[in-house]
Amino acid sequence: MPTDPVRELPGARRHVELSHVISDGMTTLPDWPGPRISDWLSRQASRDRYAPGTEFHVGRIDMIANTGTYLDTPSHRYADGADLTGVPLDRLADLPGVVVRVPAGSRAVDRPLLATYEVAGRAVLLHTGWDVHFGTGRYSGPEAPYLTGAGARWLVEAGAVLVGIDSVNIDDMRPAEVGTRPAHSTLLAAGVPIVEHLTGLAALPPQGFRFTAAPPMVAGMGTFPVRAFATLPG
């Protein structure tokens, strides 16, 4: 059952869910395999291991790292870059955030749009609205919004510490452009992590929130799904 992305918590803060649900067989990227979710130990089978009335479930998931909403670390692009174990938590958790509202119908997020925002020391979240197409053929189509190379360079120069987008890729996915990847190359070379396939950014204010997208510490992995969320004051 769908739930409100803004969940009231004890105290004065609220959390806003910014991740897609990972489900069995889902599509994140076209022609890339979806996750397979199954039982490693079912509840029924566990009854033979434990005392009467005591049972457990242990699940299993087989998936590629680029599934759902995920984080790109420098080693995703560069062989000598930091992997999931090498990116410090102060680049991933409780970051001051800013939302860049991309005008409807715009594809290229470029320097002139970004230059009106204060991004130094912040997680910069590009709100394109393209997440409404997630799971459909249009999501990866030629109209998908993206960050330009010049925009990525400006974000690095201006001091952004993380960049996220609610589109299929932070780079242009059109066939003529798909091999160049200037946004990935620029941001990850500067040690700026990327979060792709965000959702729910419409629920955030322009600023005044904290952003978290922390993956598990898996050695040798450059990308992995995250539970991305924002924390707002009451």
pLDDT in tens, 65-76: 999 999 999 999
3-state secondary structure of 114: helix
pLDDT value at 43 more than 60: yes
pLDDT value at 208 more than 90: yes
Which pLDDT score, from 0 to 100, does residue 10 have?
Answer: 56
Share of the chain above pLDDT 70, in %: 94
CA distances in angstroms from 172 to 69, 75, 98, 200, listed in the order given: 18, 20, 22, 21
pLDDT by residue (tens digit) across 1-39?
A: 444 555 554 567 999 999 999 999 999 999 999 999 999
CB 222 within 8 A of CB 65: yes
Mean pLDDT is lowest, of 9-13, 161-165, 173-177, for 9-13
CA angle 73, 75, 81 (to 5 degrees): 105
Which pLDDT score, from 0 to 100, does residue 4 have?
Answer: 56
pLDDT by residue (tens digit) across 45-91?
A: 999 999 999 999 999 999 999 999 999 999 999 999 999 999 999 99
Average pLDDT over residues 194-217: 98
- pLDDT grade for 178, boundaries at 50, 70 and 90: low
Which pLDDT score, from 0 to 100, does residue 27 have?
Answer: 97
Which pLDDT score, from 0 to 100, does residue 1 have?
Answer: 42
Per the document, the length of the chain is: 234
- pLDDT grade for 107, boundaries at 50, 70 and 90: very high
Share of the chain above pLDDT 90, in %: 90
Which pLDDT score, from 0 to 100, does residue 9 have?
Answer: 44
Mean pLDDT, all residues of the chain: 94
CA distances in angstroms from 98 to 15, 101, 130, 132, 177, listed in the order given: 15, 10, 18, 21, 28
